[in-house]
Amino acid sequence: MYFGHIVDNKGDIIDEVTLVEMPEGKSYTGQKQTEIFCHGGQFVLRRILREILKLGIRAAEPGEFTRRAFLSGRIDLARAEAVADLIGSKTEFSYMAAKNNLLGTMSEGIEAIRRKSIDLLAEIEASVDYPEEDIEMRARDKMLAEMNYIIKEAKGLISTYRSGRIIREGYKIAIAGRPNAGKSSLFNILLNQNRAIVAPIPGTTRDYLTEWIDLGGVPVALTDTAGLRRSSGHIEREGQKSARTVLENADLVLWLVDISSRNWQKDLVGDLKRLSPNKDIILLYNKIDKLKHRSKLPVDEKNGNTKQVTISCRTKIGLQRLRKELTDHINGSMPDLTDQLVVTSERHKRKLELAVKFFRRTAGGIRESLSPELVAFEMRQGINEIDEITGRIYNEEILDRIFARFCIGK
């Protein structure tokens, strides 16, 4: 470690700095590295960088330091991806998942499957090397049991992706309903800010708005959609088309109903028929403050995937209960990140699915006593897919795509 001054080519002092030299194997990248610590401020940083670049040193590309750490063998590819996830984490859940993967939780889980796969491949290839020793039925049953165990473990990881996607990309909640049902008012209330325009004129919202909120430590993408009704206007029809796409992709739909309107019950029956029967829905009966006879209020209850809650966006009745329902609903689908491996990357999930496809073919080959060469080929293909997760096998195109997500300096 050194303390001194950085000077320009005229010898004028730019700043007082500390310089640290890190030998090979002792730095973030695993390579020989020098770090300069200067005083804060963009102007000082730019002056120092300008002088350094004059020496023929180039600026780092996005993700280059982490890419070098991977290429030098200090970290594997799954851990490298976790660096970007950690930097981009928005809530406690996304932070915990990224931290666990950076510490090697994902890599260890993948490596456990790989070790069992390699052991089984060795048994299969032994019968290729010694064809005169046919695989006995008992040995075949043992191989099949081992193969089924590997498939079960891989599928177990794949099954965590729904929660993992939510942790990484956010839980998607869409606010929907007929025009003037109070969607934008609810949107603003949940955000605690006036983000959407609220007006008594039906059809005010012509497109959708999305903002991020934190509900119980889970990142939530909350979307206010255009009111759904028959419309002759081109712009409003386009807004409704976008709204239906948002509803299809949402994890949860908050369907608002204006129960002060005359035909709300008849309208609701038709509206719900347009939604997927498997879609999680919370029916929000809004504007209860306008009802003269409270005895006619719908009962708060749950029916299948649909829950019912009575609220008033104007007087805030029922909104505290709604927040609790949302938090409980989301956290109910979240894993315990203290001791569970969760797949958060779509790339990892896709590679595991391909591995399972080849492993199933391997199991079929064992079961049907196919040529050991063919069975071994399918097994190797599955292992190759596993190896692409941790980067034992990679190509430059994959690395370019992964590290393009990083910011400069990481």
Mean pLDDT per 10-residue segment, the chain (410 residues): 90 92 92 90 89 89 91 93 89 87 93 96 80 60 93 95 86 88 89 59 61 85 79 58 82 89 76 75 88 59 70 90 89 71 93 97 91 92 96 89 80
Axis-axis angle for helices 372-390, 77-88 (nearest 10): 40
CATH code, domain with 218 = 3.40.50.300
Domain annotation covers residue 68? no
Whole-number pLDDT of residue 299: 52
* Integer Cα distance of 29 and 201 in angstroms: 59
Whole-number pLDDT of residue 406: 82
Q: Indicate the residue type of 291.
A: L
Domain end (from 59, 89, 105): 59
Q: Do residues 221 and 315 share a domain?
A: yes
Whole-number pLDDT of residue 338: 64
Domain annotation covers residue 165? no
Q: Do residues 182 and 322 share a domain?
A: yes
Q: Do residues 180 and 247 share a domain?
A: yes
Domain end (from 299, 331, 363): 331
Q: Do residues 118 and 148 share a domain?
A: yes
Q: Do residues 230 and 369 share a domain?
A: no
Domain annotation covers residue 205? yes
73 conformational bin, left if phi > 0, alpha if psi -120 to 50, beta if neither: left
Q: Do residues 293 and 217 share a domain?
A: yes
Residue span of the structural domain in which 14 resides: 2-59
DSSP assignment letter at 289:
G
Domain annotation covers residue 320? yes
**What is the edge-to-edge ordering of all strands in the sheet holding 2-7?**
2-7, 13-22, 33-37
Helix, strand, coil share of the chain (percent; to 5): 50, 15, 35
Whole-number pLDDT of residue 30: 92
Q: Do residues 247 and 190 share a domain?
A: yes
Domain annotation covers residue 71? no
Q: Do residues 277 and 326 share a domain?
A: yes
Query: What's the structural domain count of the chain?
Result: 3
* Integer Cα distance of 102 and 28 in angstroms: 13
Whole-number pLDDT of residue 201: 44
Q: Do residues 382 and 242 share a domain?
A: no
Domain end (from 306, 331, 356): 331
Q: Do residues 293 and 149 share a domain?
A: no
Axis-axis angle for helices 346-367, 137-158 (nearest 10): 160
Whole-number pLDDT of residue 199: 44
Q: Do residues 281 and 396 share a domain?
A: no
* Integer Cα distance of 397 and 209 in angstroms: 34
Structure tokens at 80: 């490298």
